[in-house]
Amino acid sequence: MNSHQGKSYVITGGSRGIGAGIATHLADEGARVCITYSSRPDSAEAVLSKLKGEDHLSVQLKLEDESSVNEAFKTIFNTFGTIDGLVNNAGITSDQILLRMKSDEFKKVINTNLNGTFLCTKAALRPMLKAKAGSIVNITSVIGQTGNAGQANYAASKAGIEAFTKSVAQEVASRNIRLNCVAPGFIETEMTDILTPEQKQEIFAQIPMKQLGEVLDIAQAVSFLLSNKSKYMTGQTISINGGLFM
């Protein structure tokens, strides 16, 4: 029997990259999944069409818009009835050194990444509290642990998500609901495909394992944190970065 047979999960930002990989892996393990997208319905449907199993769902959800989040989760609950877990994966970047960064660039990243995680977690928690069961996995970043020049907004949002996770984990632990983070380093995705060999060598020089991670590395960690195999873990961060940050 697959480890997630009969379970239902929501993955935000599941139309590409790490989110699509997580959705694919969970479906392979027997789960029914809902992936959310912001502006690419065709990409979301393309991912859905390749998922193993049936009754999967895609919904539009704009992280920066509270009404959009609430409507999306209303649709999800009307379709699935309940969910067993949530993966807060969606996020954005808007890189610039601080003295050139506009207030709107800072606010947009914080509002999308950190406030979006708050809104989705809040929406998912209500039925989990009634069921006294659930697991929420927040995708953070090695950048939230180390900082990075030109990414003050992104680093702050991801570090904030880690602290948010620990706080909410304490609030709901007695209800058998767990919150944890997965912090990826450099992972092979569409974003890294455009790097030149020279740029990749510069990255490899920073990583003790001298290679990029795979999306499956992240998906397997998420699967573990959603499952009963991690039933005594909450408020933790699993770092998957090839030794980039220890």
Yes or no: say if 106 and 152 are a contact pair by the CB < 8 Å rule.
yes
| Residues in Cβ contact with 90 at an 8 Å cutoff, skipping those fewer than 6 apart | 12, 13, 19, 36, 38, 61, 63, 112, 116
**Would you give the end-to-end CA distance of the chain in angstroms?**
35
Taking every pair of C-alpha atoms in the chain, what is the biggest distance, in angstroms? 55
Is 154 one of the annotated active-site residues of the chain?
yes
Reading across the β-sheet that carries 237-240, which strands appear in turn?
57-60, 32-37, 8-11, 85-88, 134-139, 177-184, 237-240
**Nearest by Cα to 169 from 105, 239, 116, 121:** 121
For residue 42 the two structure tokens come to: 């065709």
What single string gives the DSSP state of each residue in 77-130?
A: HHHHS--SEEEE---------GGG--HHHHHHHIIIIIIHHHHHHHHHHHHHHH
Instruction: From the candidates 9, 37, 154, 232, give the one annotated as an active-site residue.
Output: 154
Residues known to be catalytic: 154
